[in-house]
Amino acid sequence: MKTLRNLGVSVVAATAMFGATSVMAEDCETITLGAAISLTGKYATNGVHAKNGYEYAFQKIKENGGVKIAGKCYNFSTIYYDDESKGDRGATLAERLINQDKVQYMLGPYSSGLTKAIAPVTEQYKIPMVEAEGASRSLFNKGYKYLFAVLSTSEQYLASAVTLAAEMAEKEGKDAKSVKVAIAVENDPFSLDIRAGVKEDAEKYGMKVILDEKLPRDLSDMSAILTKVKLLKPDVLVVSGHSKGAATAVRQIGEQRINVPMIAVTHCEAADVVGNFGKSANDILCSTQWAETLSYEDELFGTAAEYEQGFKEAFPEYTDKTVPYQVAQASAAVYVFKDAFERAGSLDKEKVRDAIAATDLTTFYGQIRFSENGNNIAKPMVLRQIQDGKYNVVAPSDFASHKLNWPRKPQ
Amino acid sequence: MDQIIGNIGLLFEFPVVNLKILLDGIMIGALFALAAYGLALVWGVMNVKNLAQGDFVIAGGYVAWTLDQNGIHPFLGIPVAFIVMWIIGWITYKLVIKRVIERDLFTSLLATFGLAIMFAQILNLMFGSDTQSIQLDMPTLYFADGFIDVPMSKLVGVVTALCLAFGVILFMKRSRMGQAIRATAQDARAARVLGIDTDKVYAFTFSLNSAICGAAGAIIVMAWVIQPFYGITYSIRAFVIVTAAGLGNLPGVIAAGLGIGALEQYGSHIFGIGYQQAIAVLLLLLVLFIRLLQQRRKRQVLQ
């Protein structure tokens, strides 16, 4: 209860902060969105990131005169509930949002697991949901009609590392087939997708997967795996286990002086591996949905760099950090709603749903265009390498700002 | 299956790996043993099975982490965590534990289970759900062609853990309070008759347990990582170790702690790291089964 109240206070404070600049949009009516999001429990950090991303987009839209639907203007407001990072709770809260609060449109929760729990509910009540934090591809093979995701699906997260490894092997004059791959991923839907994506691509090149391990949920020690890595000498090591996986892996890779030419990890930013482990993190590849150095741009948020700057001004607690992509994609989801409402020219949820499905939007976050299944097929995944403590984009080559350091040396 | 055979093969192909696994196991096992010793103390003296054991460990870790964030050297975090957790343990005793000592098994289990959930959530609200650790500017020692690595932070941690354990043993053997604790554990009523203030002894024991856990946590945050919800892993290990070693058997607790650490590392090498915890639980089952066979002639009534 207390969290909810605090939350209310912070929302009010945030609105007050921006109230001054938004006289124009003051007389607008309100469109109420609903969101069950993890404010406590194991996903709390990223849940709060997502919520801040939503809030920033609302403020931005308000400042720019609101959402214009058939000549009238509207602002977004959101009812948030805390799903405690639990799936069953998320589903219950979605029911409550729809049945008691009469919410007609939903924003997504954090994590694939929670989205998986909520999607059947929104589908049943035919409530359009645009989500930004559930990347598991299993969300998009169920034929859901009301679920849309702005982010790239999870099997693409580290698959590009395999391609990169193949490129490097060929450059060295070796056959891509000779590349040996080691995989260590957590046993959850998201990471298992990553594993599937990596395995698929490795098979395509005829590479051998010599190590394939599943990390436990409460991982705090992976020296057993790294010892095996030392013995088997793979050419690529892929690790995915949310923030804790990244933290544990980077720390112990440093301690055990793991000598693998290419190491790719997810959630580097969320675990702040550079800040926490410094040199150990050097030359590690991190996958990301978005980076502020990319050259995307739109009318509402400006360029990716401007988005980051504006967001940091609105949320000073991020000043010393890189803005995580979880924030950016949450804002992009709200942008999709705004765009769809304006094109639909109506508050009818069926019309809005059709407008969302027809989205073809260029945003600071990247291109957004949905497949029939609701996933975004227009935006590629980005690989960044930590070079001297900085995240530099090294793949895909079209957007790369820096050259890949290869092979990685033990730090 | 192929992978399991391959993994066993690696053990023979590279014998030095065995040493590495053993060392890793002993280092983490020493900390399991510390938490388990606290549990054995509380269990033996007060007959309270503290399910919040692991959460005390994590709380101690966060105390040291907070100090480190404020520029205080993490080594100082160990005694500070000891003291802070002592106080928290004492408050917990006065508020909750005191009321469940005389009750049956399930009341104390339920109460401490509630405590565990509360502790985890409070830590989560205070520090967020990110994993945290303290990075010490200390070198890592390498042996056998760099195959075996012993980070100084782990070494220091283990040595501190051993010193702490030794200190507690001495205290229990030599000091007045230690004698009173042992007397109370033997027979609380007789101890009361002889003028020992058992309530004070209970409060002291529980605070001591909490403080030991806190110090263990402060060591863990230097060498491994902590997260508000990691408490359960330490609770489970502590229970397995105490069940295996028996109450009031300190050398047994230490041996079982080191043993379970090593066995888990072997298990995760052979079957995959996903089965690490499964091995701990499997061991518990095995121990319970053996105990059952041993004690099948002893009849007891469940109160």
**Which residue in the set B28, B124, B272 is minimally distant from A214, CB to CB?**
B272
Looking at the structure, do residues A140 and A160 belong to the same domain, yes or no?
no
Q: Which of A16-20, B227-231, B252-256, B291-295 has the lowest mean pLDDT?
A: A16-20
B60, part of any domain: yes
Range 272-291 of A in CB contact (< 8 A) with B: 272, 276-278
Contact A208, A237 (CB under 8 A): no
Q: List the single best residue of A209, A212, A228, A321 to mutate versus B (max B Cβ within 10 A).
A: A228
pLDDT of residue B177: 92
Looking at the structure, do residues A141 and A16 belong to the same domain, yes or no?
yes
Give the domain CATH number at B283: 1.10.3470
Q: Give the residue numbers spanning the domain of B216.
A: 2-294
Contact A113, A86 (CB under 8 A): no
Q: Tell me: pLDDT of A269 over 70.
A: yes
**Which residue in the set B13, B227, B273 is minimally distant from A213, CB to CB?**
B273
pLDDT of residue A16: 47
A163 touches chain B (CB under 8 A): no
Q: Give the residue numbers spanning the domain of A273.
A: 156-288+382-395
pLDDT in tens, A103-126: 999 999 998 889 999 999 999 999
pLDDT in tens, A14-39: 444 444 444 454 578 999 999 999 99
A347 vs A249: CA distance, rounded Å: 48
Looking at the structure, do residues A298 and A323 belong to the same domain, yes or no?
yes
Q: List the single best residue of A256, A280, A318 to mutate versus B (max B Cβ within 10 A).
A: A256
The answer to whether A41 contacts B124, with C-beta atoms less than 8 Å apart, is: yes
**Which residue in the set A43, A230, A247 is minimally distant from B147, CB to CB?**
A230
Looking at the structure, do residues A243 and A313 belong to the same domain, yes or no?
no
Q: Tell me: pLDDT of A6 over 60.
A: no
Question: Under 8 Å CB-to-CB from B191, ≥6 apart: which residues?
Answer: B180, B183, B184, B198, B201
pLDDT of residue A125: 94
Q: Which residues of A touch B28 (CB under 8 A)?
A: 221
B280, part of any domain: yes
A149 touches chain B (CB under 8 A): no
Range 135-194 of B in CB contact (< 8 A) with A: 135, 140, 142, 146-147, 149, 151
Q: Tell me: pLDDT of B116 over 90.
A: yes
Q: Are strands A360-363 and A366-369 parallel, antiparallel or unpaired?
A: antiparallel
B24 touches chain A (CB under 8 A): yes
Q: Average pLDDT for residues A301-322, to the nearest whole number?
A: 91
pLDDT in tens, B203-249: 999 999 999 999 999 999 988 889 998 998 899 889 989 988 877 77
pLDDT of residue A19: 45
Quote the number of domains for chain A.
Answer: 2
For residue B86, what are its two tokens? 């002592």
pLDDT in tens, A324-349: 889 999 999 999 999 999 999 999 98
Q: B225: distance to nearest CA of chain A, Å?
A: 6
The answer to whether B24 contacts A271, with C-beta atoms less than 8 Å apart, is: no
Q: List the single best residue of B118, B137, B225 to mutate versus A (max A Cβ within 10 A).
A: B225
Contact A324, A318 (CB under 8 A): no
Nearest residue of A to residue B278, measured between CA atoms: A216
Q: Which residues of B touch A272 (CB under 8 A)?
A: 130
Looking at the structure, do residues A342 and A357 belong to the same domain, yes or no?
yes
Burial class (CB within 10 angstroms; exposed 0-12, middle 13-18, buried 19+) of B11: middle
The answer to whether B274 contacts A216, with C-beta atoms less than 8 Å apart, is: yes
B199, part of any domain: yes
pLDDT of residue A404: 87
Single-letter code of the amino acid located at A147: L
The mean predicted confidence, pLDDT, of chain B is: 88
Quote the number of domains for chain B.
Answer: 1
B237, part of any domain: yes
The answer to whether B274 contacts A218, with C-beta atoms less than 8 Å apart, is: no
The answer to whether B131 contacts A221, with C-beta atoms less than 8 Å apart, is: no
Q: Which residues of A touch B134 (CB under 8 A)?
A: none
Q: A180: distance to nearest CA of chain B, Å?
A: 15
Pick A130 or A224 by higher pLDDT. A130
Contact A289, A358 (CB under 8 A): no
B9 touches chain A (CB under 8 A): no
B166 vs B158: CA distance, rounded Å: 12
Nearest residue of B to residue A211, measured between CA atoms: B3
pLDDT band at A275 (very low <50, low <70, confident <90, very high): confident
Looking at the structure, do residues A31 and A128 belong to the same domain, yes or no?
yes
Q: Which residues of B touch A251 (CB under 8 A)?
A: 133, 135, 225
pLDDT in tens, A175-202: 888 999 999 998 888 888 899 999 999 9
The answer to whether B273 contacts A219, with C-beta atoms less than 8 Å apart, is: yes
Looking at the structure, do residues A142 and A280 belong to the same domain, yes or no?
no
The answer to whether B130 contacts A41, with C-beta atoms less than 8 Å apart, is: no
**Which residue in the set B21, B24, B133 is minimally distant from A251, CB to CB?**
B133
Range 258-287 of B in CB contact (< 8 A) with A: 265, 268-269, 272-274, 276-277
pLDDT band at B301 (very low <50, low <70, confident <90, very high): low
Looking at the structure, do residues A390 and A252 belong to the same domain, yes or no?
yes
A82, part of any domain: yes
Question: Under 8 Å CB-to-CB from B9, ≥6 apart: which residues?
Answer: none
pLDDT of residue B299: 67
Q: Rounded to two decimals, what is the model's pTM?
A: 0.77
Q: Which of A144-148, B53-57, B268-272, B297-301 has the lowest mean pLDDT?
A: B297-301
Q: Tell me: pLDDT of B70 over 50.
A: yes
The answer to whether A228 contacts B133, with C-beta atoms less than 8 Å apart, is: no
Looking at the structure, do residues A12 and A140 belong to the same domain, yes or no?
yes
Pick A278 or A182 by higher pLDDT. A182
pLDDT in tens, B101-111: 878 888 889 99
B299, part of any domain: no
Checking phi first, is residue A276 left (phi over 0); if not, alpha (psi -120 to 50) or beta?
A: alpha
The answer to whether B273 contacts A251, with C-beta atoms less than 8 Å apart, is: no
Q: Average pLDDT for residues B265-281, to the nearest whole number?
A: 84
B303, part of any domain: no
User: Of A141, A49, A36, nearest to A81 (Cα)?
Assistant: A36
Looking at the structure, do residues A187 and A144 belong to the same domain, yes or no?
no
pLDDT of residue B94: 94
Looking at the structure, do residues A55 and A134 belong to the same domain, yes or no?
yes
Looking at the structure, do residues A220 and A330 belong to the same domain, yes or no?
no
Give the domain CATH number at A106: 3.40.50.2300
A374 vs B213: CA distance, rounded Å: 49
The answer to whether B272 contacts A213, with C-beta atoms less than 8 Å apart, is: yes
The full DSSP string for A104-146 is -EEE--SSHHHHHHHHHHHHHTT--EEESS---GGGGSS--SS
A400, part of any domain: no
Q: Which residues of B touch A50 (CB under 8 A)?
A: none
B120 vs B227: CA distance, rounded Å: 9
pLDDT of residue B302: 52
pLDDT of residue B300: 64
A261 vs A259: CA distance, rounded Å: 7
Q: B131: distance to nearest CA of chain A, Å?
A: 5
